[in-house]
Amino acid sequence: MTNSYPEPPVAPAPQWPQYKVTKARNQVKSRFYYIFWGAATLSVFLGQLYVGTGYRQMSRSFNRIMDAIVIELVPDAGRHPMMAPDSWMDDQVS
């Protein structure tokens, strides 16, 4: 038995241009880049230290103020002098 189908034509191998492949650097950073981000990082760090020390000083002064406050509780001290006495209505009725 013979094959009744014709043989398909064979395509020639592709001829690719011969380029020299060199990988380009994706990111080229200058010295200014590192100086800028180093200075920015340092300034944020120093700002945090400044805020932290200010908060610590404020906390200490607040604690000194709160320790200096003395609340004196006097039992049965009476009413405030600007308030009317309890019996003022009785005096006016008679």
For 24-76, write each residue's pLDDT tens digit: 777 778 889 999 999 999 999 999 999 999 999 999 999 999 888 877 776 65
Flag whether the pTM goes above 0.85. Answer: no
How many other CB atoms are found less than 10 A from the CB of residue 89? 9
Query: What phi-psi label fits residue 71: left (phi over 0), alpha (psi between -120 and 50 degrees) or beta?
Result: beta
Q: Please state the domain extents for the chain.
A: 30-74
The DSSP 8-state label assigned to residue 22 in this structure reads -
Q: How far is CA 56 from CA 49, 51, 77, 82, in A?
A: 10, 9, 40, 42
